[in-house]
């Protein structure tokens, strides 16, 4: 059995600190074959600095996925090129985009877990190829002989994520949604064995609007002015998913949702 922990979008320094505290505790009690976190908001709430990626690795994260904010910090471009095995960006960005969108993570048992990052096209200002056709080709060609496949589908629309879940049922071990920072309560295993949740949520400040200082966001809506977001402080939340997979078939055996508060 393969056990995977996935953590939703880590928001800013408070989010990184919360992940460090959470992993220190949980990794002392449970063994995971693979810990994955979405890091697209890990630096200042927008983007990922190489130093923040290194900090997440040091906390126990093995692989970092991302999303539309991966390009916000320019230093990440070189890092993406140099650290392909540990950090990925959405696979369906146009050909030639820096970095990679899929990685084969080798477990100590020498089994591969393939981690794929995809980005949606509905309600997202991004230029990307069709995620359905992109992953179809990837699964049929490069990953045709792989059975343990985890997908982080970074998308806004619940329908696009759910449609992808059904499209990939039985073809990947797990498909989890990210990007909205709001956790959905629909975790399940689809009929052909794919673990699914529409959105994992975020690791960051609970008293916030998707990680940002609530007062500033409210003022933006009231005034229409593009005020600068600040990452909120205070009590932290950890949102994630724990999955177990059958190592022979790659099918999901269980999916459990994590939504916990970290005391200050
Ligand atoms: Fe995000
Ligand atoms: Fe995002």
Q: Separation of 83 CA from ligand 1 center, angstroms? A: 21
* Domain span at 79: 2-262
Between the CA of 31 and the centroid of ligand 2 the distance, in Å, is: 29
Q: What backbone torsions phi and psi does residue 172 show, to the nearest 5 degrees? A: -130, 160
Catalytic residue among 69, 154, 179, 181: 69
- For residue 67, the CA-to-ligand 2 centroid distance in Å is 5
Return the pLDDT at 84: 64
Distance 130 CA to ligand 2 centre (A): 17
Which numbered ligand comes closest to the C-alpha of 153? 2
CA 176 to chain centre: 8
Q: Which residues contact 196 (CB under 8 A, 6 or more apart)?
A: 162, 165, 169, 174, 175, 176, 186, 187, 188, 189, 190, 255
- The alpha carbon of 136 and the centre of ligand 2 are apart by a number of angstroms equal to 23
Cα dist. 7→41, 53, 154, 173, 248 in Å? 12, 14, 13, 17, 25
Q: Return the ligand number nearest the Cα of 182.
A: 1
pLDDT in tens, 55-113: 999 999 999 999 999 999 999 999 999 866 799 999 999 999 999 999 999 999 999 99
- The yes-or-no answer on residue 69 being catalytic is yes
Q: What is the CATH number of the domain that holds 221?
A: 3.60.21.10
Which DSSP state fits 68? G
How many whole angstroms separate alpha carbon 203 and alpha carbon 37? 9
Q: How many structural domains comprise the chain?
A: 1
Separation between Cα atoms, residue 130 and residue 123, nearest integer Å:
14
- E strands in the chain: 2-7, 9-10, 34-38, 63-65, 102-106, 112-119, 149-154, 174-178, 188-189, 195-197, 202-205, 236-245, 252-262
| Closest ligand (CA of 10) | 1
pLDDT in tens, 165-189: 999 999 999 999 999 999 999 999 9
**Is the predicted pLDDT of residue 250 greater than 70, yes or no?**
yes
Nearest partner of 22 among 67, 56, 63, 46, judged by Cα: 56
Please tell me the pTM assigned to this model: 0.97
């Amino acid at each position: 059995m393969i056990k995977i922990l996935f953590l939703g979008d880590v928001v800013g320094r408070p989010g990184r600190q919360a992940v460090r505290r959470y992993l220190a505790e949980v990794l002392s009690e449970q063994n995971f074959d693979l810990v994955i976190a979405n890091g697209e908001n890990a630096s200042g709430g927008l983007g990922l600095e190489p130093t923040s990626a290194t900090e997440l690795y040091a906390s126990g994260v093995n692989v970092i996925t991302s999303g539309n904010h991966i390009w916000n910090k320019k230093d990440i471009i070189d890092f993406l090129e140099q650290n392909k095995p540990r950090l990925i960006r959405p696979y369906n960005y146009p050909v030639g985009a820096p970095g990679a969108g899929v990685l084969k993570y080798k477990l100590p048992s020498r089994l591969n877990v393939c981690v794929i990052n995809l980005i949606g096209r509905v309600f997202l200002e991004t230029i990307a190829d069709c995620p359905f056709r992109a992953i179809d080709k990837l699964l049929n060609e490069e990953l045709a002989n792989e059975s343990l496949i985890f997908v982080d589908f970074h998308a806004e629309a619940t329908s696009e994520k759910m449609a992808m879940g059904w499209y990939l049922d039985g073809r990947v071990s797990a498909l989890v949604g990210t990007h909205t920072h709001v956790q959905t309560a629909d975790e399940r295993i689809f009929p052909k064995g794919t673990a699914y949740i529409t959105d994992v949520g975020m690791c960051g400040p609970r008293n916030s609007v998707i990680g940002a200082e609530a007062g500033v966001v409210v003022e933006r809506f009231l005034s229409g002015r593009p005020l600068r977001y600040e990452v909120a402080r205070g009590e932290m939340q950890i949102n994630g998913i724990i999955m177990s997979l059958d190592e022979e078939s790659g099918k999901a055996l269980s999916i459990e949702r994590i939504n916990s508060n970290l005391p200050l």
